[in-house]
Chain A
């Protein structure tokens, strides 16, 4: 019987296994990057926990984003040209387009912004802002990883992941505003 163990002890001396089989130090850029994607996923979980049950559509949308982030994590944990890439679910442009449509849908329910806003308000909004900033950090790491690997191919999965994270942080910004709106909190404007 094969099992999925939470602990294996093989990481006790500071190394870990990539999905593609390499053993690397736990501070390796690739590990830092999928670690950030994991952190982002966790913060989105907090946002979901603070959303009212009635907001089914947004909860489902965030759940799909969490699934996509797991797929992205698998790509980030795999070195380029590794044979196992063929086993991974593709990161597609449609995922980016889906986020753009979600942003447009949420923005249509909000008053246009004329000032910067201070992160905060309802906990769901405050955590959406935390998610946004973790998303930006993940994006910066992906850019660094792509540069390190000299990924020049425009069709590289890292390029699509970059675009997805760039759009996701925009989505999380709009979501933070929307969360305040549905909880009757005013955005705090920067004066």
Chain B
């Protein structure tokens, strides 16, 4: 661990951690997991992210692991034309990696209101951390273009009450209990009026659409959001 130069008020600007790749696991044709060794002194809250420094640039990835975990699990979308993700996808076990963090405030905030979790794509990662760390009742709307992109589905089917896969472009048979359409359509049609805690993680269009829907139909609710590419 090394500490970067101090700011003018004497506080460290950021702490840089050194880690190694333990394993790389495919999640689908569009996403994969990196399992990193956890450097000493790196503490975080479930739902926070780290800033990976790689290929001369930086990328923020939410941690899918719990704060008690011995390794760090990242859930990464594979952009074929991207600068970083194709190279990360080719990394072999043992490769050195550097990152800073933890970052962000997308963490669980206990309340008496029902929790509605909405995820699209790799936005499911912070929920995988939060829902294995905290015990609370939640409904999960899991948006994906196709069933093969419902990452961590098995876990959430057991934990969420209810778990609703929302498949926006169904080409094959829908999974059990799935809704054909966008998460916003499900909310419009099936969520009873009331005050909720909405946790949104995923594409910016989903976040803006759901937030505007909350303003219109679920006034008095709380909205916590993390935008993902």
A2 to B125, CA, bound (A): 10
**Interface: A114 (CB within 8 A):** no
Interface stretch, picked from B137-145, B184-192, B219-227, is B219-227
* Given A21-B222, A23-B223, A63-B8, residue A1 in contact with residue B212 (CB < 8 A): no
Interface stretch, picked from B15-23, B54-62, B128-136, B167-175, is B54-62
**Interface: B105 (CB within 8 A):** yes
CB contacts under 8 Å to B, within A12-27, are 12-13, 15, 17, 19-23
Are A64 and B8 in contact (CB-based, < 8 A)? yes
Are B228 and A8 in contact (CB-based, < 8 A)? no
**Interface: A182 (CB within 8 A):** no
Are A21 and B223 in contact (CB-based, < 8 A)? yes
A83 to B134, CA, bound (A): 15
CB contacts under 8 Å to A, within B82-138, are 85, 104-105, 107, 109-111, 122
Instruction: Please report the total number of B residues contacting A with Cβ < 8 Å.
Output: 37
Could you mark each residue 74-98 of chain A with 1 if its beta carbon is under 8 Å from any beta carbon of chain B, else 0? 0000000011100100000000000
Are A13 and B215 in contact (CB-based, < 8 A)? yes
Tally inter-chain residue pairs, CB-CB below 8 A: 77
Are A8 and B208 in contact (CB-based, < 8 A)? yes
**Interface: A147 (CB within 8 A):** no
* Given A21-B223, A23-B221, residue A2 in contact with residue B212 (CB < 8 A): no
Interface of B is mostly: mixed
* Given A9-B208, A13-B212, A87-B105, residue A1 in contact with residue B60 (CB < 8 A): yes
Smallest CB separation, B45 vs chain A (Å): 8
**Interface: A67 (CB within 8 A):** yes
CB-nearest residue of chain B to A56: B8
Most chain B CB within 10 A, of A1, A12, A19, is at: A1
Partner of A1, one of B107, B109, B122: B122
CB contacts under 8 Å to A, within B161-202, are 197, 201
Smallest CB separation, A91 vs chain B (Å): 14
Are B228 and A1 in contact (CB-based, < 8 A)? yes
Smallest CB separation, A43 vs chain B (Å): 20
Binding site for A on B (CB under 8 A): 7-9, 49, 59-62, 76-77, 85, 104-105, 107, 109-111, 122, 197, 201, 204, 207-208, 211-212, 214-215, 219, 221-229
Interchain residue pairs with CB less than 8 A apart (14): A1-B61, A2-B227, A3-B227, A5-B227, A17-B225, A20-B222, A23-B214, A23-B219, A23-B221, A23-B223, A60-B8, A63-B8, A64-B9, A67-B9
